A and B are shown apart, each in its own frame.
Chain A
């Protein structure tokens, strides 16, 4: 992967002024680090060395790193008491790479996080099957497993910007409801084989064991039967309670709400059950007053995370970096415009580029200090292009609330301040 172009790109970066280089970085990823003392200017100031802290049973983040999710309650309802929160967002402006740290994976829970003893938890498979079965968590762990890196995205991701753009939002506020983890579990196809699904069953109800008993009807397309799995592992360890411990459904590329957490039941049938979630909740109201239903796949999307909302940059060299993802498959390319969507240049995709997983992109940029707008546009391997806001709103109106994937624009003023704008 280390190509000639990458090396040339690194050489170009090294040749730009040191001041501009440090200025750009300090506003961004390093901004996650609380600089409590002035940085040492010369190597003559040698930090004290000696025995450090005792080795512990697990490791914590450095005390210099301040990095947290933000619990929120809905569009415009930020900085709420955690008891009023309905979701908690990933701090993309402070993260690097493709994988979201487990404790920073976004969360949407509809009745809090249940405290489930795995010894008391069961998965029931019934309905149109030859053998209704009950599985324990240990049963699942004894089965052949798959491990896959996928993004999960709440359909509400982006919902702050449907009608207006609050200039003071960070990318955590605008796009913090998508994350990428490595999940491990049992293929749905294997469970279907064990229970002996009847041929005429084309839909499956998946239900959680939380207080809301969240349940969704899932069409058993070839793609879903081949790719869905019941996960008990997350980034190499058991699921966190917030993400469905002890087991959840993982539906690569589909609405976060379909990835049923605290999974307790799969019921096979012949049609959707029209649950509250797939009728009154996760449907998209169009301008004509009709609502789009069963828009289950997550769209082609991208966002620049560096620099992004509320950061401040300096003239000169700045690296532009961000994340792209698509429920249709792999990201094929990401283009970036630094002049308000007039001229587009192709960004570099950092390997690996995986199907239905977030991938980091980056591009060199020398800012001339004049006010401008930066925006990214993703294209996936199926040829789906992330829409500009104008054509997106023309198709969906401004009442849909869910499935917002319009291009995200950040404005930069003459002082280098980065702000959230509509286009």
Chain B
């Protein structure tokens, strides 16, 4: 009886350790909701992560001139770094021009990327409204937002980019199928 119990205890211990090897020890510290919010900057195609705010094309033209033209050129073309406008209709040619207008599938990604990585010398330095504004301006350079237009957290996810359907997932890692087989 006693030896039977001991075996049970031993088995339970073994199972417990195997089932949750990590929780047997403490590493790191809990992250608080407040500090997570400081770092949780990503924006998804459905608009999750976009902050409250808005910006117009007109404002964005000025923000762009002050922060972006040096690398991306006037009107987002002819600069030393990535071309941002034009190129629509060139993707199947021998000299494809990949820009926000011709290639990027989601407008939300533009906000996310400008906010996280631009302007190159001082990433994240633009205000929320200025980030919306320069997003609106770059979209207007591509004819996606009208010259008198504006964008905000509700309108940006609703924009259908010209190349939205231009991507074919690799069969091995197709998000629509990957974890749905079982």
Contact surface of A with B, Cβ cutoff 8 Å: 110-111, 124-126, 131-136, 139, 142-143, 190, 193-194, 196, 202-203, 205, 207, 211-213, 215, 219, 221, 264-265, 267, 271-276, 279-280, 283, 285-297, 398-399
Contact = CB atoms under 8 A, between A and B. Distances in A.
B92 interface: yes
Contacts of B105: 274, 279
Dominant secondary structure at the B interface = loop
Interface stretch (B17-25, B134-142, B147-155): B17-25
Given A111-B117, A194-B28, A219 B112 contact: no
A135 B31 CA distance: 9
B27 A139 contact: yes
A211 B166 CA distance: 29
A134 B103 contact: no
Contact of B39 (A139, A142, A264, A286): A264
A285 B42 contact: no
A316 B172 CA distance: 47
A126 B179 contact: no
B178 A221 contact: yes
A193 B92 contact: no
Given A264-B39, A275-B42, A219 B175 contact: yes
Interface residues of B, number: 47
B170 A272 contact: no
Interface in B122-146: 123
A398 B92 CA distance: 11
A212 B173 contact: no
Contact of B170 (A110, A273, A276, A294): A294
Top 3 A-B pairs, shortest CB-CB distance: A289-B92, A193-B22, A289-B91
B40 A272 contact: no
A276 B28 contact: no
Interface string B8-40: 000000000000111100011111000110011
B45 to A, nearest CB: 5
A215 B175 CA distance: 17
A143 B24 CA distance: 12
A297 to B, nearest CB: 7
B56 interface: no
Nearest to B36: A126
B174 interface: yes
Contacts of B169: 292-294
Contact of B166 (A196, A275, A290): A290
A124 B167 contact: no
Contacts of B39: 124, 264-265
